Amino acid sequence: MGYFEEIRKTVARIPRGRVSTYGEVARVAGYPRTARQVAWALRDGSLLGIPWQRVLGSGGRILLRGRYGRMQRELLEGEGVRFAGDRVEMARHAFTFPVKAPRVGTARIDGNR
Partner DNA sequence: GATATGACGCAAA
Partner DNA sequence: GTTTGCGCCATAT
State which of positions 17-46 bind DNA (CB under 7 A): 21-24, 31, 33-40, 42-43, 45-46
Instruction: Find the largest Cα–Cα distance for the chain.
Output: 56
Closer CB to DNA, 67 or 103, in the complex: 67
DSSP letter for each residue of 57-107: BTTTB----HHHHHHHHHHHHHTT--EETTEE-HHHHB--PPP-PPP--TT
In whole angstroms, how close is the CB of 46 to DNA at the nearest point? 7
Applying CB under 7 A, the residues found at the interface with DNA are 2-4, 21-24, 31, 33-40, 42-43, 45-46, 52-53, 55, 57-58, 63-65, 68, 72
